[in-house]
Amino acid sequence: MFTVMLKAKLHMARVTHAVLNYEGSCAIDGELLDMSGIRENEQIQIYNVENGQRFTTYAIRAEEGSRVISINGAAAHLAGPGDRVIICSYAHYSEAELESHQPSLVYLQEGNVVSHTSNAIPVQLA
């Protein structure tokens, strides 16, 4: 049996571009892709903090160091420049892999600059 688990997350990324007339996908700064472990062409889920939209697309590499987060194609109707988004990827893990699995979490601040990284989401308090 396999369990679908969070693999990687870019938390509070700021959308820099929305390009409607593009083939599709989400362009992400190559440094952020590498840091998070999200691969080019990997399926990602994007959660728009501003309007609640949630959608699926795939990641493509943007220029390293550009801090670009570009929502392309039809998804450009769901998120625009300035919106804060959470970008997640998930993977299937075997029971044995679950023993040591830790997601790669990258937290961003203004300008899509990394504030910190982690491998665990803090416990939510009551």
57 among annotated binding-site residues: yes
Sign of the torsion angle spanned by Cα atoms 19, 23, 24, 29: negative
- Is residue 100 flagged as an active site residue? no
Catalytic residue selected from 25, 36, 70, 89? 25
Residue 125: both structure tokens together: 């308090």
Tokens 């939209």 locate to 53
73 among annotated binding-site residues: yes
Catalytic residue selected from 22, 47, 58, 107? 58
- Is residue 107 flagged as an active site residue? no
Bridge partners, residue 61, by sequence: 28
56 among annotated binding-site residues: no
Bridge partners, residue 70, by sequence: 17, 27
Task: Point out the residues that are catalytic.
Answer: 25, 58
Residues at the binding site are 57, 73-75
Residues at the binding site for substrate are 57, 73-75
